[in-house]
A = this chain, B = another copy of it.
């Protein structure tokens, strides 16, 4: 079993899931596979091509969602699947929007969303479709990125109030006590702990309604 792009991508994804993109290196992947670092370059041109490979593997999982005949349901399903995938593979959100995603599976989900959106009555010509796709994808990558970084900082500081106050507290509370940021302070202090998925869902339908002229 001589090695293959698939195996390399799988090992890379394992490592990235465990230690993040910063903890991912050609050498570590090679060690994980029990070969010399240079072997990978027989299957992959670059480190960045390897990242593209990993990204497309994730897109493959996203593309597995069912296609409903209702265009709106299809779009919602794809968006939620993308969010789910990003939460399972946080490094995915780091790559989201950083480069054009042109792998076959990425194109497949692009095709699916574009086709679904174009079935909306308010999307008439190609220009409408371009704009709608742009707004939707923009929101998608932004919202996902946001949620992932929030989750990361929450994890690094610890969820409990005490640890949070101890880590970001000294600086942030001092900042907020200056009184220059009253609204932000209000948000931080008595901001409700709203459910992330529910928020995502809510904002997604809002944007989708706006885009398709609801």
Tell me the A residues contacting B by CB distance below 8 Å.
Answer: 94, 97-100, 102, 104, 107-108, 110-111, 114-115, 118, 126-127, 129-131, 133-135, 137-143, 145-146, 149-150, 153, 168, 171-172, 175, 180-184, 186-187, 190-192, 194, 199, 202-203, 206-207, 209-211
Protomer copies? 2
| CB of A142, distance to nearest CB on chain B (Å) | 3
Query: Using Cβ atoms and an 8 Å threshold, which residues of chain B touch A130?
Result: 187, 191-192, 194, 199
A183 x B115 contact (CB < 8 A): yes
- Does B194 lie within 8 Å of A127, measured CB to CB? yes
Chain B residues in 8 Å Cβ range of A129:
183, 187
**Nearest CB in chain B to that of A148: its residue:** B97
A111 pairs with B175, CB closer than 8 A: no
Choose one: B115, B137, B168, B181; the contact of A107 (CB below 8 Å).
B181
CB neighbours (8 Å) of A146 from chain B are: 97, 134, 137-138, 141
Contact B184 A111 (CB under 8 A): yes
Q: How far is the CA of A23 from the CA of B102 in the complex (A)?
A: 25
B114 touches A184 (CB 8 A): yes
Residues in B whose Cβ lies below 8 Å from that of A168 = 102
A139's nearest neighbour on chain B, judged by CB, is B139
Decide if A126 touches B94 in the complex (CB within 8 Å): no
Report A144 CB to chain B, min CB distance, Å: 8
Complex Cα spacing A62 to B182, Å? 19
